[in-house]
Every structure is written in C-alpha cells, then in structure tokens.
Structure 1
Amino acid sequence: MNDKLINPKNVKAQQFVQTYSFMSGIKKFREKGKEAAIDEVKQLHDRIVLRPIRIEDMTQLEKERAMESLIFLTEKRDGRLKGRMCANGSTQQEYTNRDETATPTAMTESILITGTIDAKQKRDIMTADIPNAFVQTPVDKQKVGERIIMKIRGLMVDILVEMAPEIYADYVVIENGKKVLYVIMLKALYGMLQSAMLYYNKFRRDIETIGFKVNPFDPCVANRIVNGKQHTVVWHVDDLKSSHVDPKVNDEFLKWLENKYASDNVGKINAVRGKRHDYLAMWLDYTEEGVLQVDMRPYVKSMIEDFPEKIGTSQNPWTEKLFQTDDKSKKLEKKKAKDFHIFL
C-alpha cells in the first residue's frame, strides 16, 4: 500500500473478541455467562423470532431438515460478555438453492473509490451499524413443508420454559433422554443460510423507498440526489457508510435509520461522525483535507498476535505435523468420508 495512504498517528491496535462455546463459556464465566445467555434468549423471545411447534404438526421432511441451535458467549474488547444464539445452517446446504443464499457484499474497490470521492468533495461522513439486523428480518416461507425448523436442546430449553412456561412448556419433548424444543423460525437468525440474503433484500427495498438507486456495478452501493448533491450509501451486510456534503443530510438519514431499525427492544444505531472511522477492519482517515488515508496495520497486527501458532519464516510450505496422525480423533461420518479424497 502507498505510504501516502497510511496514517501512522494515534493508531491503537484492534483486538479480536474472544468467543466461547456455551459450555466452555459457562465454565469460565459461571453465573455471568448464564446471564448473558438468558439475555440473548430473552431478546429472541421478545422479538418473536421463533414459535414453538408440536412434533406431530411437522412433516417428516421438516423433522429431517430441522437445524440444531447453537449459542456462543463472546467477550467484547471492553470486557462485556454477550450471548449469541445462532442456527447450524450447514444442514441446509443440501436442499437450499444457492441463489437464495449468495449475498452481495460491498467490494473493497467500492469502499476506497467512494471514500476518495468523499475526501475530494469534502463530504460529511457517517458510519453506522444496524442492531440485530437479521432478527429484524421476517422469513417469508411459512407454508407447511417449506417452514424453517430449528431444534433447541438442553439448558436453552429450560431457559425458554422458565421465561414463558405458558408458551413453551407444552411443546417440550424428550429425545435420547434430553429435553428438545422444536421451533418455527419467523425471523432470520445468524447461521441460517438465507439470513444475509433476506436482510439484503429488505434493506435494499427500504432505501429504494426514499429515493436511492442501486449502482449497476456494485449492488451494495446506492446514490440519490439531495439538495442538488449526491448522497452515497455503501453497505456490507449491516455495516454502512453514508456521505453527503451537507451534514444535515446525514442527520436526517440517521433519524430515518433509527425510526426504521432501532427501538428499546432491538437496540440503538451505533453511528460515528467525524474525520476517522473504523470501518470493516480499515481505518478511514479524512483528517488531511481532500485526502483519504487508509490503515489496516492494527488489524493485521492483531491477527499476527492472536494467531494460535507461532508465525515466522520457513524453508518449506509444510511443518513437522504434516504426517502426524491422531488415532484417538473422531472418524469422519461415512457420508462425509465418501466425498473426502486424499491424493498422495
């Protein structure tokens, strides 16, 4: 990268967030971990993301295709602990059309080109992220046989039943000695293959209603004319960048975003204004008038520091572990092993 694009001043290294499986997180954080999980499940319940269904009301195909639920605990950079419930959507790959899941994201070139235009035209810049974007997005397929079913097990079942016994208690079944709750997905959830595409379509429709036209070369860039000047929005899933020469246009756009996507139940829009923006692992710096300075060194540094293996130089593209085997490791399932080929 050209040195002119790098701002060496006031750089703080970004740190990766630490994510734990639910059981590992509970062992590490104990009651604090359980509280984070409860908060996450409560949010999904309050937002009516899922609805319980009796096992006899599902088709055989829906039972076979039911996704497993997962929950992770994430320790944020500021020390906060957050639960994240998601679906194991890998089972959807066998029967889901790729066109329903291949979601466009903003090209790096688009971010840099629009950023350069922002600098040259001295635009006001706003970056923002939509809170809980997926779970604000309705799932459109609700016909019998086409519904998206998720299977919740163990402690998560207990949390839901304790939270709203009148809704969930009668739907709990026992499978292999464990409590199981089947639910219909009413809104998108992280992990579902369709979630990102559902949200993309929703966000695109929403901004088109207020005059934006999507760029024919990048479907994650859109423009409209406000007060005779161009208003540009670039978005990468739920992270967006908005720019216009008049700061009041961004003020009004932020109000629109808040009315559309923010609430006490969902969360606030986290918006940043000013000359420096931490956007998609890049620092976009507009401190020098008319110039965009881009710096990814903190991100690269954090990757090197947090990488589980020691990073150095090598004379060969392999390590001493290449031919080591672990006799105690779990064998591949027959179905996966059939498609797994090793060439010697």
Structure 2
Amino acid sequence: MSVKSLIALVTIFAFEKRDVAVFDVPGAYLHTDLPDDKFALLKFEGQFVDIMLEVNPDFTESVRYEKGKKVLYCRILKALYGMIESALLWYNMFADVLIQEGFQINKVDKCVTNKVVDGKQLTIGWYVDDNIVGGQTKAVTDLINKINERFPGLTIQRGNKLEFLGIDFYFRGDGKVDIGTVPYIKQMIKDLEEELGMVQN
C-alpha cells in the first residue's frame, strides 16, 4: 500500500466515522509454503549447528565440516524474510484469503480491498504484514476474528488513537483525523544517539 493510499484510507475512515483497527500478522512469511519447484537451502555454521541439533538430534547425521567448521544445510520449506520471492508469495496468499472472504482487490492499489457488509463498505489496506481496516464495528471485529483464525496471534489495536507504520493517527470523531510522526522521530533520534554513544547522563 502506498503512502497516498494510506492517507486516502484514513481520511475516508475519519470522514465516514468508521470504526478503525490496526493489526499485524506475526511471522507472516512462515505461513507461506515455498512452491514445489523452488529449491532453497539455508546454511548453519558453528554454534547455530549446535542449536539445531538441540532442537532436532536427527540432524546429527547431516552435519559436515568445511575448513574445520561444523556446517549444516537445511532445505527451506517456508518463505523467509530476506528471500526475494517471499513478499510476493505472502501477498498472493493473503490476497487469496481476502478474496475468499468476498473482498475485491482495488484496481489502483493492489494492497487495498473492499467488501460491502450490511450495505456499508469494509476496507482493508496492508503493507506486507501490517494491516489497517475500517468499517462498521461488527464487520471489523468479524474480519479480524476470521483472519486471526487463519493466522493466529494477531497483534491488534482498536480505538481512536492508533499507530500504523510509524505514523500516529487520532480519529477525532468530527470527521477529521490528526496525523503525526513526532513520537516515531523522537524514538529514532534516541536510538541513534544510543548507538553512537551520544546519550548524556
């Protein structure tokens, strides 16, 4: 979802006084199987081999030594962060889940979908595994519950003050929304100062 789409969505949500929620799908890519024709290996070295052996001692037979170092090669069955195709595999899976729920993909932004529930529009926009949804309260709750059944453990925010992708949204109730990034920027500065050792006592 583009920034323009996000701003358009929250403006519409505020103007129409929709109930808004934000949720995150933890470990999203791990829900996605790699296709059978995709063969990828992950190489573990040193102490990571020991950790893998603790988890599954059956891997002991597969341990090899390269230049005196313990190594273990494992075939990847799930999409992982860092793999080029992972984002597309996740997108296709998540979009299919929404389409099965009756949503239609937006023609302009393929990470925005709409569905009419009881005569009112329900909209969801997403950026990888971060989602923002607006509609009637029951429709929003039902959607979140259905997605949580499919991808358990959602991190959910509800209410008129929400944080999404480092942006704070305050839905005032008068058809307007306040948008800001001050806390996000302050945290970035603090983190940078700590990293550079610039924190003063």
- Out of 24, 31, 51, which is 1:159 matched to? 51
Larger radius of gyration: 1
Matched with 1:124 is: 19
Matched with 2:148 is: 258
Matched with 2:94 is: 203
- Out of 136, 139, 154, which is 1:249 matched to? 139
Greater relative contact order, per chain length (Cα 8 Å cut-off, separation 6+): 2
- Out of 30, 33, 44, which is 1:138 matched to? 33
Name structure 1 gaps, 5 residues minimum: 1-105, 263-267, 311-344
Alignment length (residue pairs):
196
Matched with 1:189 is: 80
Partner Cα separation in structure 2 for residue 309 and residue 107 of structure 1: 32
CA RMSD of aligned residues (A): 1.6
Name structure 2 gaps, 5 residues minimum: none
Query: What is the one-letter code of the residue matched to 1:271?
Result: I
Distance apart, 1:202 and its partner CA:
0.7
Distance apart, 1:309 and its partner CA:
6.2
Partner Cα separation in structure 1 for residue 189 and residue 148 of structure 2: 37
Between 222-231 and 301-310, report the one with greater CA deviation. Answer: 301-310
Query: What is the one-letter code of the residue matched to 2:144?
Result: L
Matches within 5 A, 1:3-152: 106-140=1-35, 142-143=36-37, 146-152=38-44
3-state SS in 2 of match to 1:179: strand
Query: What is the one-letter code of the residue matched to 1:291?
Result: K
Deviations 1:72-119 (A, max 9, x none): xxxxxxxxxxxxxxxxxxxxxxxxxxxxxxxxxx11111111101101
Q: TM-score, normalised by structure 2?
A: 0.92
Deviations 1:197-249 (A, max 9, x none): 111111011101111111111111110111111100000000000110x2111
Identity within the alignment, % = 34
3-state SS in 2 of match to 1:231: strand
3-state SS in 2 of match to 1:159: helix
Q: TM-score, normalised by structure 1?
A: 0.55
Distance apart, 1:192 and its partner CA:
1.1
- Runs of 4+ aligned residues of structure 1 deviating over 4 Å after TM superposition are none
Distance apart, 1:305 and its partner CA:
3.3
